[in-house]
Amino acid sequence: MRRTILLLAVVVCVPALMMMIAAAIGAAAPDLKVVMKLTQPQVGLLAGTFFVAAGLSLPFAGRSVDRFGPTLCVLAGLAIGTVRDPEARSNRAQL
């Protein structure tokens, strides 16, 4: 019973998280246009690229979780996510 509830929570929460990220991209679109000097079609292409990348990477992520376990995959994702461009801080300071 507990496993079924956990599976249902994952099935509901993951698409909801994807929609929140999509909404965040839409909310940030005006700022992206100004800061990155993008046109409206370029902002749309940027948002679409996110979903294409997510769709292409999800099967590999699923296989990785099945093979290595969820804990190791989450830790690897966090480690990859914390790696930053060394110039990112200086670029942010100029904004």
Q: Model confidence over 32-59: pLDDT tens digits?
A: 888 888 888 888 888 888 788 888 888 8
Residue-range definition of the domain harbouring residue 78: 2-94
| Range name among 23-27, 59-63, 90-94 with the lowest pLDDT average | 90-94
Q: How confident is residue 93, by pLDDT bands cut at 50, 70 and 90?
A: low
Higher pLDDT, 2 or 30: 30
* Residues 43/46/52/57 CA torsion (nearest 10 deg): -150
- Domains in the chain: how many in total? 1
* Residues 62/68/70/71 CA torsion (nearest 10 deg): -150
